[in-house]
Amino acid sequence: MFDLIVKGGTLPDGTVADIGIQGDKIAAIGSLGDAVAGEIIDASGDLVSPPFVDPHFHMDATLSYGLPRINASGTLLEGIGLWGELKQVMTQDEVIERALKYCDWAASMGLLAIRSHVDTCDDRLLGVEALLQVREQVKDYIDLQLVAFPQDGFYRDPTARENTIRALDMGVDVVGGIPHFERTMADGVASVTELCEIAAERGLQVDMHCDETDDPHSRHIETLACETQRLGLQGRVAGSHLTSMHSMDNYYVSKLLPLIAEAEINAIPNPLINIVLQGRHDTYPKRRGLTRVKEMLAMGINVGWGQDCVLDPWYSLGTGDMLDVAFMGLHVAQMTSPAEMRTCFDMVTENNAKTMGLEGYGLQVGANASLVVLDAGDPIEALRLRATRLCVVAKGRIVSRTPRADASLSISGRPATSRRRHG
């Protein structure tokens, strides 16, 4: 007797299996025959995946698009300026309300673990307080990890250092930074060093916005890799964006990638945002600006796609769909072979779970009973269709259902419905 059985679904590796759930854990996987359950979900012919994971988001800014005005130039720097204006006028309740609404969207998309940066350049720490409340409120269905993010520069902003440390004392999970935004390269290097030391002292993970620029000389990832080694933080540090690597000299990159691999740094490119913001100042040829994803994967570096923004000062679109994110990444990085497309699916599930250090993630006995049933036959089809999330289970509870989006056709001599599935 199980509480819930997900019956006959196809797992990402192609095996067909029933999944038996007891409480908030997966209790059995395989052929469960006529086993009884409180509820049975028929997933035959559909893909059953572990939940989607977003390792890079800004939940304090999400759904604020147009407040107090729209980003006219579309650049990163105007976005930062605009966020500075919004921070002065927003209230804690508004931030909480927007974040909870976004978490509803995320749950409906099977996105059940999110790492969100939270701005610590605010003497009131209003966003920090708001997202700490949200983290508590959503914990039964979304694992929300918070990163203390000195958006205006750890040294560049006069009170950022003090406020970032305060945020960590309040219970923010991860140490962030933005070295390329400090006043000088030297300040950037020093900020990486001090922030990594703070993380090592407190036993925390690190996730820096690192080299989010088209400047090939922005090389803070080198310092981040070096400090990770020096402080013994291997496997617990992430470099977000790393876009400068797109424009770097190839010889230098041939030295850099082994350093990143050796330090076991997790890489988080954010393809929707990178393709929108990078290369903005170029004429033609216009750089794509995405970091070297295939090359890092080939070196054995853990790389996962992040979303970064939904309807905020930096990005005017987005839905919380990690398949959209992977779909864009697949195109921009030209990862179009079957094996590469398959990897793109792992990059919004398994790889991101590894970056966040999630415990109990995955479809195996003893893991958290969190999964998604998709209207697709396999992971590549899920990407192609940005497939409907038919059913989302979070820690043993069904939290969302969406009807299959079959079209009714009225075309003579053709079938009555169309599903757009293939094979």
Q: Binding residues for Zn ion, per CB under 5 A?
A: 308
The residue among 293 and 385 lying less far from Zn ion, judged by its C-beta, is 293
Strand partners, 397: 394
Residue with Cβ nearer Zn ion (308 or 346)? 308
> Residue 58 or 292: which CB sits closer to Zn ion?
58
Please state the closest distance from residue 304 (CB atom) to Zn ion, in A: 14
Q: Supply the minimum distance, in Å, between the C-beta of residue 272 and Zn ion.
A: 11
| CB of 229 vs Zn ion, minimal distance in Å | 25
- Alpha carbon of 67 to those of 64, 91, 175: distances in Å? 6, 12, 28
Which is nearer to Zn ion, 260 or 268 (by Cβ)? Answer: 268
CB of 117 to Zn ion, least distance (A): 6
Q: Give the type of residue at 106.
A: A
For Zn ion, the closer CB: 117 or 288 = 117
As measured in angstroms, the least distance from the Cβ of 15 to Zn ion is 36
Active-site residue identified among 162, 182, 212, 227: 212
Please tell me the distance from the alpha carbon of residue 241 to that of residue 25, in angstroms, as a whole number: 34
For Zn ion, which is the closer residue by CB, 308 or 375? Answer: 308
CB of 240: closest distance to Zn ion in angstroms? 6
Q: Is 182 a catalytic residue?
A: no
* Residue linked to tokens 């995946």: 49
Pick between residue 157 and residue 381 the one whose CB is nearest to Zn ion. 157
Tell me the closest approach of the beta carbon of residue 268 to Zn ion, in angstroms: 9
Q: Which residue is nearest to Zn ion (CB)?
A: 308
How crowded is residue 316: how many other Cβ atoms within 10 Å of its Cβ?
15
Judge if the upstream peptide bond of residue 415 is cis by omega within 30 degrees of 0: no
Of the candidates 169, 162, 107, the one whose C-alpha atom is nearest the C-alpha of residue 132 is: 169
The set of catalytic residues is 212
